[in-house]
Amino acid sequence: MLSQAVEDYIRLRRIGGFKFGVQALLVRSYARFATARGDSHVVTQTVIDWAAKSPSPESREVRLQTVIAFARHCRAEDVKHEVPPAGVFGKTYSRRPIAYIFSPEEIARLLAGALALQPKASLRPYTFHVLFGLLAATGLRLGEALRLRFEDLTPEGLLIRETKFRKSRLVPLHPTTTQALQRYVKLRTLLGGDDGHVFVGLNGQRLRSGTVQTIFREVATAIGLDAGPGKRLPRLHDLRHTWAVRALESSPREVGLIDRHMRAVTAYLGHAKVASGYWYLHGTPFLMKRIADACAAREQEEP
């Protein structure tokens, strides 16, 4: 009974537009655990025992909250389902990693490091050189870049299909980025096999995210970006953060134009709402100073 309720719940959430990937794995895991105990309905103690099997406080809380949402859904039709209380494992705080903002010189070194990858007489160095450069020049999510197919390369820019929020968008490119991509595509067509994806590995198949992350860390360490003991190595996703911060730094100062600029950056990045972009505003001292100066000026204007 629980297993069927879980499948109905997952289907309903996905019909509603949610990807529901990790959550689906969790509620299915809970259902197997509960069924093995003989539960036909959600039982609070079973949920807590299942969630407690996770090794960290944060993941235990994620498990708990996921099943709480499922239990509320089930209880709307059958009051025999119990809704576990929140905060059973104590209050946890999810701390968002501090973004690493690359300098232009560091990005140039990163791209040069990618060209030094082995084997030299293969497509591989050029693939990562162009992929890292594209992420730095456009702020694309890694998954968006890896899903690119040849038909997505249009004269107007990159067609990004079915993004994180199930929306498609057109990403215009700077002429230098277009030229680099066109040169790579010619080489890719000759050496990369028949797969329709733009970026492929040595096996001729679409690159996987885990592979790209590993190569990025390898290159970043090789060029000296390793932050050292106790410090975090820059992440590949920080190229997106860097693009966003630099785009916001170039914002005009006129109040009416700031809003338009912020909306343009939001649309280009593929955010679902403008508020998602405000996290980047504290990315550099330059932006923080501009915010502080604007607030001080506004305070002096008020009576």
Residue whose C-alpha is closest to residue 155's, from 185, 131, 127, 178: 178
In the listed set 222, 257, 279, which residue is the last one of a domain according to the structure? 222
Averaged confidence pLDDT in the chain = 85
pLDDT at 251: 74
| Pair (114, 214) in one structural domain | yes
Q: Is 155 a residue whose pLDDT tops 90? A: yes
Q: Is 1 a residue whose pLDDT tops 50? A: yes
pLDDT > 90 in the chain, percent: 56
Give the pair of three-digit tokens for residue 268: 């280009």
* In a domain? residue 97: no
The pLDDT tens digits for 206-228 are 999 999 999 999 999 999 986 55
pTM summary value: 0.66
pLDDT at 189: 92
**Mean pLDDT of the region 9-28:** 87
> What CA–CA distances, in Å, run from 108 to 104, 132, 223?
6, 10, 10
* In a domain? residue 93: no
The pLDDT tens digits for 168-178 are 899 999 999 99
pLDDT at 268: 77
* In a domain? residue 155: yes
In the listed set 192, 222, 252, which residue is the last one of a domain according to the structure? 222
The pLDDT tens digits for 160-169 are 987 766 678 9
Helix (H, G, I), strand (E, B) or coil at 169: strand
Q: What is the CB neighbour count within 10 angstroms for residue 62? A: 18
Separation of alpha carbons 258 and 264, rounded Å: 10
| Pair (138, 183) in one structural domain | yes
**Mean pLDDT of the region 130-140:** 97
pLDDT at 27: 96
Phi and psi angles of residue 191, each rounded to the nearest 5 degrees, phi first: -115, -10
In the structure, what pLDDT confidence band is assigned to residue 153 with cuts at 50, 70 and 90? very high
| Pair (176, 211) in one structural domain | yes
| Pair (217, 141) in one structural domain | yes
Q: What is the CATH number of the domain that holds 182?
A: 1.10.443.10
| Pair (68, 178) in one structural domain | no
In the structure, what pLDDT confidence band is assigned to residue 91 with cuts at 50, 70 and 90? low
Give the pair of three-digit tokens for residue 163: 């993004």
Separation of alpha carbons 162 and 144, rounded Å: 9
* In a domain? residue 82: no
* In a domain? residue 53: yes
Residue 290 is part of which domain span?
Answer: 239-301
| Pair (215, 244) in one structural domain | no
Q: Is 281 exposed, middle or buried (0-12, 13-18, 19+ CB in 10 A)?
A: middle
* In a domain? residue 109: yes
**Mean pLDDT of the region 59-66:** 91
Give the pair of three-digit tokens for residue 230: 């106790």
In the structure, what pLDDT confidence band is assigned to residue 303 with cuts at 50, 70 and 90? very low
| Pair (114, 205) in one structural domain | yes
| Pair (135, 206) in one structural domain | yes
| Pair (125, 175) in one structural domain | yes
In the structure, what pLDDT confidence band is assigned to residue 256 with cuts at 50, 70 and 90? low
pLDDT at 92: 57
Q: Is 35 a residue whose pLDDT tops 90? A: yes
Number of structural domains in the chain: 3
In the listed set 222, 257, 281, which residue is the last one of a domain according to the structure? 222
| Pair (213, 274) in one structural domain | no
Which sequence positions are flagged as catalytic? 141, 164, 237, 240, 271, 280
* In a domain? residue 80: no
Give the pair of three-digit tokens for residue 50: 């299942």
pLDDT at 260: 74
pLDDT at 18: 74
**Mean pLDDT of the region 70-82:** 92
* In a domain? residue 244: yes
